[in-house]
Structure 1
Amino acid sequence: MATLDIISPLPGVFYRRPSPESDVFVNEGDQVENTTVIGLIEVMKQFSDLTADAQGTLIRFCVDDSEPVEPGQVVAIIEIQE
């Protein structure tokens, strides 16, 4: 089983949903594509999409919703479809 770590490109706060009232972008076990948004990283009120960057199954989030992240920190793990 090949996996891919999705890492935070910048420091900030990780959010799994686009707004507090919205559903999460994806859940563990969901199929994802290269362009699938799995969450947002907020830095000083600027929001950046964090995408899967691979086709496969999101197997685990390593960061909770609204948790601070650092550059290079693993946010989620994807099992890559071969």
Structure 2
Amino acid sequence: MDIKEIQSLIKFVAKSGASEVKLEMEDIKITIKTGSDSDTTIVHQVPAAQMPQQILSAPPVVEASAPAAAAPAAPAAEDSKYITIKSPIIGTFYRKPSPDKPLFVEVGQTIAEGDVLCIIEAMKLFNEIESEVSGKIVKILVDDSSPVEFDQPLFLVDPS
């Protein structure tokens, strides 16, 4: 097993949500522990005669995400009448154009199509995110200066 395979295994374990994974093969033994401040990876290479061939794998991703999927189901029904404005890019979410300026939008504020709602910084570029709908801001789902993912909900807007 080469270093690239180990790195891809570490990334897979981190995404799966598993807290610990042990992988034992003929000549290598790997333990990956997550959930602390930093991921821990221990790699031992031992002679094949000393270790039986076993592979203990991470729990399936479905099990890890099942409790998380059940929780948002109730708010989804409550928020179904609202339009969700999602992040078009990965970056850092900012509610103000600069620290000394006022917020772009606040809860309860009426917005029109084309109004700037926030800025998302990606690779030192500040991208203004404009509204594609008119309505009233019901909820802001992300804290200022927080990292956001692609397609992550940012705002709930009541179009009525």
TM-score higher than 0.5: yes
- Runs of 4+ with >4 A deviation: none
Residues 33-64 of structure 1: CA deviation (Å, up to 9, x unaligned): 01111100000110111112111101100001
Amino acid at match of 2:110: Q
Amino acid at match of 2:116: V
SS for the counterpart of 1:47 is strand
Which 5+ residue runs of structure 2 have no aligned equivalent?
Answer: 1-79
Partner of 2:99: 20
Which whole-Å CA distance do the structure 2 matches of 1:79 and 1:32 have between them? 10
* Count of matched residue pairs: 81
Rounded to whole Å, the distance in 1 between the matches of 2:81 and 2:135 is 10
1:70 equivalent to 2:145? Answer: no
Match of residue 110, structure 2, among 17, 27, 31? 31
Question: 1:64 and 1:19 mapped to 2: Cα distance?
Answer: 15
Unaligned runs of at least 5 residues, structure 1:
none
Partner of 2:90 in structure 1?
A: 11
TM (norm. structure 1) is 0.94
Matched, 1:45 2:124: yes
Higher strand share goes to which structure?
1
Q: 1:7-38, CA deviations, whole angstroms, 9 ceiling, x for partnerless residues?
A: 00110000000001110011110000011111
SS of structure 2 residue aligned to 1:6 = strand
Report how far residue 2 of structure 1 moved. Answer: 3.1
Partners in 2 of 1:6 and 1:37 — Cα distance?
12
Q: Which residue of 1 aligns with 2:139?
A: 60
Whether 1:2 aligns to 2:81 is: yes
3-state secondary structure, aligned to 2:85: strand
1:16 counterpart letter in structure 2: R
Task: For residue 14 of structure 1, give the secondary structure of its aligned residue in structure 2.
Answer: strand
Which has more radius of gyration? 2
- State how far apart, in whole Å, the 1-side matches of 2:100 and 2:156 are: 25
